Structure 1
Amino acid sequence: MLLIDAEQVGQRVDNFLLRICKGVPKSHIYKAIRDGQVRVNKGRIQSDYRLVEGDTVRVPPFRMPAPNAPRAVPPCNFPVVFEDDALLVIDKPSGVAVHGGSGVSFGVIEQLRAARPDARLLELAHRLDRETSGLLMIAKKRSALVALHDMMREGKGRKRYLALVSGDWVNDRQHMRQPLLKWLTASGERRVRVDPTGKAAHTIISLQKRFGRYSLLEAELRTGRTHQIRVHLASAGFPIVGDDKYGPDEVRDKFTRLGFGRMFLHAYRLDIPHPLTGELLALSSPLPPECQRILSYLEKQS
């Protein structure tokens, strides 16, 4: 029987069990919840039940992997940009999902939890697309997670990205406010499009450098919609180089032949109050070497 304290308040019971029952398949945990083997305050609950301080959780015995069995999730410690007892900010590489799901068995958060088994809490404060590199915030306390979510919902702080796009961008600074709507392709893949019935979205674009047929832009998020920067830029006729969902195949193929096999979108700057102390954090991540190389190449060509 486990007693829920302040650090665990607000978590869904399924996510709580996934963290404390490391190595147990998700399907086993959800079956135990459905079958009533997991009890909160001696009563049956649904998987989306959110824990309250003082709850008692009965965790049934699960068949755990043998001690010498290989780990289901390989542990990984990513480059740390900032860390204290409440917040961790890492430099995420391109090509790594932030969490498992949708055909990905594990991501950054699962690998961090495997690498830090004694951590009481590690939760994503926001998300980056799999092919996007750069600054990613992870909360180490429930109070920090709630504060970060509140700040982002209220538009506090600044999250800025660097993007290389196809096209000769003209305006030094431009506000993009097209509403965005999620939809599914025939194959069930999630996509986003500009649509008047969608949710409000606001991106501020600032020109950094022009390379003739390509432009380096800074994109500042004022809202946090799925694929926001990618869709806003593509809808304006300036798709991000290497974007496999909203960019042309011929551009992606060209840059792949040049040795650049990713999307050029990098979360390079984060200015946000510390979620607990209020101290302003000014964090940055340099462009990855492969991005720097492609800019040098374009500079020579232009």
Structure 2
Amino acid sequence: MKNKILPISHIYINEDMINQRIDNFLIKKYKNIPKSVIYRIIRTGQVRINKRRIKQYYKLNIGDKLRIPPILIEKQKQNFINKNSFPDLSKNIIYEDNYLLIINKPSGIAVHGGSGLNFGVIEYFRYIRPLNGFLELVHRIDRDTSGILILSKKRISLCHLHKQFREKKIKKEYIALVHGKWPLDIKKISAPLLKIQSINHPKKVVIHKNGKYSETYFNIKRRYCATTLMHIIPKTGRTHQIRAHALHAGHPIVFDNRYGKNNLDINIKKITNINRLLLHSFKMFFIHPSDGKKMHIIAPLDAQFEKFLNILPEF
């Protein structure tokens, strides 16, 4: 395959580009270039803002002059979605207008490609809707978590919703099935979370005094013989926050391969063939970026999750 050199380019930052980190801006602009290349040209000072070197976390301001150096890339074969192995996510759309596309994401589907995956939700919708000039993830949820996922169809709506997230004006609610009988007196967990990463193990977060402040509210919805269905509201939005806090309480989420307890999961597998993380983002409240309308989105439990709850023995 032949190599290709992208020429040097200069971009003047306008209102549609401001408040983005430079690394995120370049990753979105050059979707087919490896992230390692993007970070290397930033780190080595080849990317300049107003003729100055910048760090990857620099946020673009209106009027900035961005210089992007020539980039050598290897021409690769076009990746296509295998429709036999990738579900028809258009059936999971629960709301759409000129500004937003909201789906009820299935468990097991990543929100974007990476870590060995060619496609995720965002790549799928860009593929089936090639005429959409702009389509970006507003937020992320874990691959194994199901439920509400918002995509933005306009830069202005993306910026507006990101501002709501920063100002903690967006409220998210989850449903989860946890092991054991959740104590009546545990309604809030405030425990700092610290990310840890090792070569041979996947990324995790742990309770640690040097971690970031994290707060989650837990309410009992229904009690079963050996499990409890919980209504959960995260007040902060840390990575794996609900899963780590549930484990901290001594009641990990059922079928959580990263924070769960395999010996407890094995007992439940004896009565069902379901094998997915039983955590679902089912409600979200936010202000519509166009007309200021209060939005209340609900994503029903999928049939597999619902069917499993119906066979569980209660008290």
| Range class of TM-score, shorter chain | 0.7 to 0.9
TM-score w.r.t. length of structure 1: 0.82
Is 2:273 the partner of 1:259?
Answer: yes
Q: Give per-residue Cα distances to partners, 1:217-239, cap 9 Å, x unaligned.
A: 01011111111111111111111
Query: What is the distance in 1 between the residues matched to 2:132 and 2:14?
Result: 15
Query: What is the distance in 2 between the residues matched to 1:35 and 1:185?
Result: 26
Query: What is the distance in 1 between the residues matched to 2:151 and 2:115?
Result: 21
Query: What is the distance in 1 between the residues matched to 2:89 and 2:13?
Result: 28
2:47–2:66 Cα contact (<8 Å) kept: no
Is 2:15 the partner of 1:6?
Answer: yes
One-letter code of the match for 1:221? P
Residue 32 of structure 1: how far off its partner (Å): 6.8
Q: Choose the corresponding residue for 2:245, options 222, 232, 255.
A: 232
Residue 31 of structure 1: how far off its partner (Å): 6.5
**Which residue is 1:206 aligned to?**
219
One-letter code of the match for 2:165? M
One-letter code of the match for 2:305? C
Q: How many residue pairs get matched?
A: 299
Q: Give per-residue Cα distances to partners, 1:139-194, cap 9 Å, x unaligned.
A: 33333333323322332232000000111124287122122222224625321122
**Which residue is 2:4 aligned to?**
none
One-letter code of the match for 1:297? I
One-letter code of the match for 2:282? Y
Gapped runs of 5+ residues in structure 2?
A: 1-8
Q: 1:82 to 1:213 in 2, by over 3 A?
A: same
Deviates further, 7-16 or 198-207: 7-16
Query: What is the distance in 2 between the residues matched to 1:215 and 1:231?
Result: 17
Among all aligned residue pairs of Structure 1 and Structure 2, give the percentage whose two residues are the same amino acid. 39
Query: What is the distance in 1 between the residues matched to 2:15 and 2:156?
Result: 9
1:4–1:57 Cα contact (<8 Å) kept: no
Secondary structure of the corresponding residue to residue 187 of structure 2: strand
Query: What is the distance in 1 between the residues matched to 2:253 and 2:45?
Result: 48
Q: 1:45 to 1:203 in 2, by over 3 A?
A: closer
Is 2:295 the partner of 1:286?
Answer: no
Considering only aligned residues, what root-mean-square deviation do their CA atoms show, in Å? 3.3
Secondary structure of the corresponding residue to residue 233 of structure 1: helix
The 5-angstrom pairing of residues 124-203 of structure 1 reads 124-171=137-184, 174-185=187-198, 187-203=200-216
Q: 1:61 to 1:93 in 2, by over 3 A?
A: same
Gapped runs of 5+ residues in structure 1?
A: none
Secondary structure of the corresponding residue to residue 6 of structure 1: coil
Query: What is the distance in 2 between the residues matched to 1:266 and 1:283?
Result: 13
